[in-house]
Amino acid sequence: MAARTLTIDGKHVSADESATILDAATEAGITIPTLCHLEGVCSYASCGVCVVEVPGAKSLLRSCVQAVTPDMHIITHSQRVMAARKTAVELLLANHPADCQTCLRNSSCELQEMARLLGIRERRFPRTRPILPPDPHGWGV
């Protein structure tokens, strides 16, 4: 397969023509945060955290599904990108369980860490799904 040359945050990168922006960045050692791979958080390409800016594009692009194009210029951490990532994480947190102390992922929760890195300290959006009561039968049979 042919290689494509692109620029990510000013760094010239070569990527396979079938690569996504996220693939190319990862291969080049450039971190683009993403949460869509986490079980129970969101489906593929739906988290919105991996967005990047490409000058001339109508909107921000989801790097996990956007294929690279020749001579593409990609910005991974602009103000616009960071604001969109923050909103995406805030939307995920709206329906995320708030009782971190009893969660199995406490202290190793990628969503929690992403919220911390983005400076999110409180929930901005209301919950849209009902909170289900605990199963009275417990885990044992």
Q: Which tokens in the block code for residue 88?
A: 């995406």
Q: Other CB atoms closer than 10 Å to residue 106's CB: what's the count?
A: 11
Domain boundaries, the chain: 3-117
Q: List, for residues 49-78, the tens digit of each pLDDT value.
A: 999 999 999 999 999 999 999 999 999 999
Instruction: Name the helix (H) or strand (E) containing 114.
Output: helix 110-117
Looking at residue 109, its pLDDT comes to 77
What global pTM score does this model have? 0.77
Phi, psi of 87 (to 5 degrees): -65, -40
CB–CB of 54/76 below 8 Å?
Answer: no
According to the model, what pLDDT value does residue 72 have? 96
Q: Does domain 3-117 have CATH number 2.102.10.10?
A: no
Inter-CA distances, 125 with 14, 37, 99, Å: 40, 23, 17
Q: How many CB atoms lie within 10 A of CB 40?
A: 7
Question: What letter does residue 44 receive in the DSSP assignment?
Answer: T
Which tops the pLDDT comparison, 99 or 27?
27
Q: Which residues pair with 61 in a beta bridge?
A: 52
